[in-house]
Amino acid sequence: MKKLLTPALALSARALPLLACLLFSSHAQTISVGEALDAPSFSWQMPAPGGWYPWIIDTNNFTFGGSSLRAEVHDFSDAPGFSTSLVGPGTLNFSYRLSGSGNSALGQNAARLVIFSGAWDYLFWSDQDTNWTTATVFLPAGTNTLLWAFELEWMPAPPVTSWVDHVEFLPGGTPAFVDIQPRSLTFVSGGSGTLQAFAGGTPPLAYQWRCNGTNLAGVTSSWVSVSSSVPGQTNLYTCVVSNSYGMAVSSGSSIYTLGSPSDPWIEFTYVPYIGVADYVHLLIGNVSGYSNYVIAAYINAWTGWWNKPYWDAPLTPINNDGTAEFWYVTGGVDITASSMMVFLLRQGATPPQMSGQCCFPPELFTSAVAVASVSRVPGVPSTTVRLRPDGVLMVGLRGSLPGHRFAIQRSSGLVAQPWVSLLGTTNFYDTAREFEYHPLDGERAAFFRGIEVP
């Protein structure tokens, strides 16, 4: 008996490693999409086989459960999306990772991971390379059909890769909250800018801006255009955000106006919206001889403040008509700059070289003749106003998203004064357009803004 059993046992010992390998391989092949995403109870839809770069199950890179979904793209054949449907209200959490999307060889981002709901309604997107990161999306009541997709913006140099893992859904509504508070701004006379309250909570969210505690009529977007007022005066702006489950009030944003009407001033006349490469336009006034002054411009992007147009060439000259312009897109993340600041300096000044620092040195402010700042809001056009020699104001909007309708509105003041749309200004604004505004007799102030309309 022993002579018969020994060869059989020896054979089994030799075959065991091979058998274990085969069983492991078979198990890896049977992992479902739901198991890879740690959400097997969801109904997942994958694109038909045979796509260029499909999402595949990855057992080598994951954040939970031993597997994830991965898409790797080499050219403009996008990775087809995968989708599911969830009944809201509720909160969707998931983990994601991007590699090669922020392409330094291109000087800009090559790809982004997005979630759509319905027809091109973005709920989430990211285009920055990151390790495993958790994202949160608040879903409204009703059935939400969600599509994860990996989009190419530019031809990548190396392949770009995206992973998705650990999808969770928590039913129930979330009260509105303010995630990022609006900033305080300081203007010289004639300056203007934009405030935005970045809010979260179960959609839909409602917004109401207040100035010094009083509701601003019709200002019910996530952003508000603000302008300088009486020199030495401070206006306090707050935003009330609400939904069906609660409300929140933002911290106060102080808008302070420097100087007097006769002091030198500098203002932004055109600021491209986020994601667009274009020139920033400025207008300078109340100075003696434009050639005696220069502009030091800075943008706040990624880690902090950066010189523009170039780190080693930080000065911008002023044209003979008092205008100036600088090209701010000289780096990979410049188009995402959240704010800009410009300083009017006397000729011969040497402004600091900023390369991502959080704060300006105090001596920059003390040496500046005038200062202006502006914040940027995605998709919101910049209002432009220029004075013709005959005294007519030419008002326009530049930088709105194609397919979005805007109107130009005027108000005689920012507090408790109605906003009225100028006749004929409702337009899609695919290209820059200007409209005439004839100042009224005795009119001392006029404020203009662009507002999205249905």
Report CA torsion sign: 216, 218, 220, 224. Answer: negative
Smallest CA-to-CA distance from 84 within 14, 159, 145 is with 145
Q: What 3-state DSSP class applies to 15? A: helix
CA 366 remoteness from chain centre: 32
Smallest CA-to-CA distance from 451 within 229, 217, 237 is with 217
Look at residue 108 in the predicted model and tell me its pLDDT. 56
Q: What is the pLDDT of residues 114-132, one digit of tens each?
A: 898 875 577 888 887 889 9
What residue type is 107 in one-letter code?
Answer: G
* Contact by Cβ (8 Å): 96, 89: no
Look at residue 14 in the predicted model and tell me its pLDDT. 26
Architecture of domain 33-171: Sandwich (2.60)
pTM of the model: 0.57
Class of domain 174-259: mainly beta
Cα distance between residue 435 and residue 181, in whole Å: 34
Low-confidence ranges of the chain (pLDDT < 50): 1-29, 107
**Interstrand relation of 79-99 and 160-171 (parallel, antiparallel or unpaired):** antiparallel
Domain ranges of the chain: 33-171, 174-259, 264-380, 381-454
Smallest CA-to-CA distance from 298 within 253, 259, 334, 256 is with 334
Architecture of domain 264-380: Sandwich (2.60)
Look at residue 261 in the predicted model and tell me its pLDDT. 59
Look at residue 13 in the predicted model and tell me its pLDDT. 28
Cβ within 8 Å of residue 361, ≥6 positions away: 352
Cβ within 8 Å of residue 101, ≥6 positions away: 109, 110, 111, 112, 113, 127, 128, 129, 160, 162
**264-380 and 174-259 share a CATH fold:** yes
Look at residue 419 in the predicted model and tell me its pLDDT. 81
